Structure 1
Amino acid sequence: MTPVPLGLLGVPSSAAAHAPGLERAPAALRAAGLVAALSAAGRDVVDHGDTPVARWRHDPPTTTVPHDVDRVAAGLQEARAAVLGVLAAGHAPLVVGGECTVTLAVLAAAADAGRDLGLVYVDGGQDLHLPTDHADEPIADSMGVAHALDLPGAHDALAGLGPRRPLLAADRLAFVGYADEEEDVHGLVPATRLPASRVVAAPEAVAAAATHVSGPDGFLVHLDVDVLDFFALPVADVPTYGRGLTPPVLARLLAALVRADGFAGLVVVEANPDRDDEAGTHLRALVALVAGAFAVDP
């Protein structure tokens, strides 16, 4: 069976991040050979271009709301419309950011299209922070899942992004590969949890366990590159030192997820071009890792 064409979409935004830089990632990943690598792996790719660039700006909050939240939400609405176009074309979305909040836009677009998806969240953390708990650092890219779940204290502009609220139920969510401390400080998120230690031991078994959260229309994979050990592949905007996955382990995990029944799309976020060396070595390695997961005949 011929795989569905991949619909590549860039969301060049650092608006919800800790600082500028991530807005340059979609262009940098294309320049590192993403489309050619996917084609060489045997996949048809249709490039749907980019949403408008949204660079981080200094906008200190005066209350316990996410930094620059109205601009973040406006950018996500643009991304939501663009992803809906990818889905309407019959393509499997491959969305490259940008920061972690872009997954909210993909979930919203899927709901717009009448699709009920689970979410496999491959990330060094869980992004369950809430503005009310993090008034000292109200950065939205550490709050995406909290808003998808519409946890108490979530901001309306993000939690109400899509056609339903919440966008996601906790039993349709698997956290995979995290090495940070547990973020469900209020005990409100009974999701599947598969930490980095389990992934290292058995990547394919973890992938199989994670796909149990699939909805009637499959599951979306979110990949934050901070799940990688920064010493092994230094591309993440916020590094994880000594506790993350190695590239070979992540490659096995991602390949198993992409080839599983129900796979419905991939979001790749938090790769900062400023982390790369002058030769572009590390982004090319990331491109090879992602493209390898999509290989038709691995």
Structure 2
Amino acid sequence: MSSRPLGILGVPSSAAAHAPGLERSPAALRAAGLVRALARTGRRVVDHGDTLPARWRHDPPERSNPHDVARVAAVLQDARAGVRSVLSAGHVPVVLGGECTVALAVLAAAADLGADLGLVYVDGGQDLHLPADHPEEPIADSMGVAHLLDLPGAHDALAGLGPRRPLLAGDRLCFVGYADDEEDVHGQVPSARIPAAAVLDDPAAAARRSVAAVDAAADGFLVHLDVDVLDMFTLPLADIPQYGRGLTPAVLRELLAGLASDPRWSGIVVTEANPDRDDEHGTWMRALVELLGAALSTAR
């Protein structure tokens, strides 16, 4: 087992989300026992605290811009600096969003330090929307991967967040577990894709296929987890729920365990767990925390 500690960093932001709520997710995960659950993996756990909180606010955008884009970019630059500190300490980042744009900050911080990571994107969607294609819903939360790849029409404040553009090459990306419709409407993203049905059929095989798909990244790979990859009827926390489709907690646990057991695993981002979805006893946050602790117990 690796001796590198797990380094927790919270990014309490809903700035890029559809509405407030996700800014409370890092605190809720800690309150549900995340540090204890990760410590049971046998690794040292270091909590690096939180970046500055940012709650969703009303900021009607220009037609061509994501909602509140300057503030979203400022949040991500703050997160980038925080993740860079985690990595510089020699810790494996466990980053608690907030919303899905935080993956931009993690990959930017890794690139700052000379690491070129692949990305296994475990999510109910693909987050490939662009402002010009969706002026009716210009929410950056659904645009993160489009900006990682610097697709035509990406906003400079997000696509230019890191030390290079694009931050991620398409052959170092694998979409895993999505049940939404294909979002690559312009045919510009030839990345590997493993839909929810294939993961449900064999989560261990899906993990192996994911790692093989991003293997061009010799420096390792990051796992992005949006809890909307889960069927809302099985674990009701997703900020944007999907019902009657998606993964079960047992399948997600096996998938994540397979990813974390690979020696190239380089960290995880956990996003979109909205405390407002939980019951008054915190039942589902605890369930998510136990799932994460069990899955990461396999990490090397």
The correspondence of residues 252-263 of structure 1 with structure 2, limited to 5 A, is 252-263=254-265
Residues 121 and 174, structure 1, Cα contact 8 Å, conserved in 2 = yes
CA distance in 1, matches of 2:166, 2:61: 25
2:225 to 223, 235, 239: 223
Q: In the alignment, which residue of structure 2 is the partner of 1:25?
A: 25
Partner Cα distance (1:296, 1:257) in 2 = 9
- Name structure 1 gaps, 5 residues minimum: none
Structure 2 residue aligned with 1:240: 242
SS where residue 103 of structure 1 aligns? helix
Q: Which residue does 1:96 correspond to in 2? A: 96
8 Å CA contact 1:124–1:177 kept in 2: the answer is: yes
The residue that corresponds to 1:210 in the other structure is 210
Structure 1 residue runs of 4 or more that deviate by more than 4 Å after TM superposition? none
Q: What are the superposed Cα offsets for residues 225-269 of structure 1, whole Å, 9 maximum, x if unpaired?
A: 000000000000000101110000000000100111200000000
Letter in 1 for 2:262: A
Q: CA RMSD in A?
A: 1.1
**Which residue is 2:116 aligned to?**
116
Distance in 2 (CA, whole Å) between partners of 1:30 and 1:260 is: 26
- What is the deviation of 1:296? 5.0
Quote how far apart the aligned CAs of 1:71 are: 0.2
User: What do the CA deviations read for 1:15-73 (whole angstroms, capped 9, x no partner)?
Assistant: 00000000000000000000011112322100000000000000011322100000000
Structure 2 residue 269 is the aligned partner of structure 1 residue 267 = yes
How many residues align? The count is: 298
Q: Distance in 2 between matches of 1:143 and 1:86?
A: 25
Gaps of 5+ in 2: none
- Where does residue 6 of structure 2 map in the other structure? 6
Distance 2:184 2:107 in 1: 21
Task: Give the TM-score taking structure 2 as reference length.
Answer: 0.98
Q: 1:47: which partner in 2? A: 47
TM superposition score normalised by structure 1: 0.98
Which residue of structure 2 lines up, in the alignment, with residue 65 of structure 1?
65
Query: Structure 1: which amino acid aligns with 2:147?
Result: H
- The answer as to 2:290 corresponding to 1:294 is no
**Counterpart residue identity of residue 216, structure 1:** A
8 Å Cα contact 1:43-1:294 kept in structure 2 = no
